[in-house]
Amino acid sequence: MATGTNIRTYFNGTWHDGDVPIMSAADHGAWLGSGVFDGARYFDGVAPDLAAHCARVNASAKALMVTPTVSTEDMVQIAWEGLKQFAW
């Protein structure tokens, strides 16, 4: 669960301000638990092992027989795009 007030959500190719709901009750991930998650850290302008975290997301998806829709490299780029939008 996201905590705090400085939250950004990436959905459908765009960053959004706030905790935007992106999953309905009928979504496959909610209904059958087919979602994946890996949390990365960001501090002092660095995100240690970000590429490894993103690679694990895709590896977990494949293990659940879910086809990843974003490459590891693109996921890293998207994460950095979102991180740079924050005024730390």
pLDDT of residue 28: 84
Please count the other Cβ atoms lying within 10 Å of the Cβ belonging to residue 56: 16
Q: Does the structure show a pLDDT above 60 at 72?
A: yes
Per-residue confidence band for 2, with pLDDT thresholds at 50, 70 and 90: low
CA 46, CA 35: separation in Å to the nearest integer? 27
Each residue's pLDDT tens digit, 22-71: 988 888 888 888 889 898 999 888 999 999 999 999 999 999 999 999 99
Specify the DSSP element, H or E, that contains 56: helix 50-63
- Cα-based distances in Å from 9 to 2, 20, 72: 10, 6, 18
